[in-house]
Amino acid sequence: MKYKVMVFDIDGTLVDDNHGFSDFTREVIKELYDKGVILGLASGRTIGQLKGHAKEWGLENYFKVLIALNGASLYDGINDKTYDFFKLKREWIKEIIEKMQIYHNEARCHIYNDELTMFFEDDEDYKNYMLSGRKVIAAKTIDDMCQYEVPKVLFKTELEKSDEIEEYAKTICNGNYEVVRTQPIYLEFMPKGCTKAYSLMRFLEIHGIKNESVASFGDTSNDNEMLKISGLGVCLANGSDDTKRIADVITEYDNNHDGLARYIKENLL
């Protein structure tokens, strides 16, 4: 096996548009694992959520690299250690939310980690999260939303205005933080330098693995740096134009037709 490590984005890559995980994908993952490949997940989700997904898919303990919160945190399953690399300062969070207030109705602010979720109290998603069993804070003011240093601030946008909002969001970034679109309706502000590639490189350094031995898979902008530093960077057919431009390979099939699993089965196994 040429690649010792394979790392997968989730949404738009490993699962379909309805978040379904196919039996064929599961079979391919198990085959890679049986061949000794170190498997990883890289996502905007928290470490706890990634572990939950692996268990839900029937693949608990298969993924030894969990790159969470777009690279802010790393779980090294080989050493059973967790690393936290990046957090936004409270004053930065306040600055971001204040600048984004002109789109308050079209870009709703969410702040979360494994312990809590925060919304403004008028957010339509608030009641849904209340039913999830997670600790939820309903903020009345911007100051309420800035109680904790967190790895990212997410804005859920209206699809028809997402391009406009993204362009505006880029203009308010500075040397402390940057913004990236992680799904068609999600924009995420993160500390400068926080990328999936950063956490991946830290894992490789710990274990003495060269990045040439890594194959990574993604579909959109927050995957770009990870694909760039990998020996093989694969973008799904449904991927964004910027990610397709930097990828070494674009799959023939999209995420709704097992594009990732088919590519691996036909070319890497």
Structural contact between residues 211 and 185, judged by C-beta atoms closer than 8 angstroms: no
pLDDT of residue 253: 98
Q: Which residues of the chain have pLDDT under 50?
A: none
Locate the DSSP E strands across 113-185. 117-120, 136-139, 153-157, 177-183
Q: What angle do CA 113, 119, 123 make, to 5 degrees?
A: 140
Residues 6+ apart with CB under 8 A from 131: none
What does the pLDDT read at residue 122? 78
Instruction: Give the 3-state secondary structure of residue 265.
Output: helix
CA-to-CA distance for 80 and 75, rounded, in angstroms? 7
Determine the 3-state secondary structure of 154 from DSSP.
strand
Q: How far apart are CA 6 and CA 230, in angstroms?
A: 9
Burial classification of residue 71, based on how many CB atoms lie within 10 Å of its CB (0-12 exposed, 13-18 middle, 19 or more buried): buried
**What is the per-residue pLDDT for 183?**
84
Hey, which bits of the chain come out as E strands? 5-9, 38-42, 63-68, 73-76, 81-84, 107-112, 117-120, 136-139, 153-157, 177-183, 186-191, 214-218, 232-235, 249-250
Report which of 44, 43, 8 is spatially closest to residue 29, judged by C-alpha positions: 8
**Pairing label, strands 5-9, 38-42:** parallel
- Whether residue 217 contacts residue 260, with contact meaning beta carbons closer than 8 Å, is answered with yes
Q: Indicate whether this model's pTM tops 0.75.
A: yes
Closest C-alpha to 33, from 73, 77, 64, 56: 64
The pLDDT value given to residue 243: 96
pLDDT at residue 112, rounded to an integer = 79
Give the neighbor-by-neighbor strand order of the sheet with 107-112.
136-139, 117-120, 107-112, 153-157, 186-191, 177-183
pLDDT at 160: 92
Are 195 and 228 in contact by the 8 Å Cβ rule? The answer is no
In whole angstroms, give the CA distance from residue 137 to residue 144: 9
